[in-house]
Amino acid sequence: MAADDKITPANPLEAARRLTAPVRLRRFYKKVEMPVEEGGFVLRLDGKRAITPGKNTLAVPRRDLAEAIVAEWEAQGEFIAPASMPVTRLANSAIDGFASRLAGLRADVLA
């Protein structure tokens, strides 16, 4: 067996599956908390601020949302599965998609 056989499977479908498989991020934290800080309840993983995909601080204004996000992060196993965290994904979308454009959106709504 050549060295290349170990890298590339003989089955082209298997090769395509491996190349298109999503990158899975290992759980890198032990402690999850959302203390009240300026800007609301801020997600902290092992004491470090968590950020959204758009590089904003993940913070929510209400305790019930914070508790739901903490529960989602605590429930993660060996790998982080974003599909199992709908409240976190919704918060990320709201923060990245609307928070930075709030003044413009408000003007559009009032117009």
Tens of pLDDT, residues 2-55? 555 456 567 888 888 888 877 889 999 999 999 999 879 999 999 999 999 999
User: Which domains, from first to last, does the chain contain?
Assistant: 23-110 (3.30.2180.10)
**Sheet architecture: strand order including 44-45:** 32-33, 44-45, 48-49
- Decide: 61 and 76 in contact? Cβ < 8 Å: no
pTM of the model: 0.73
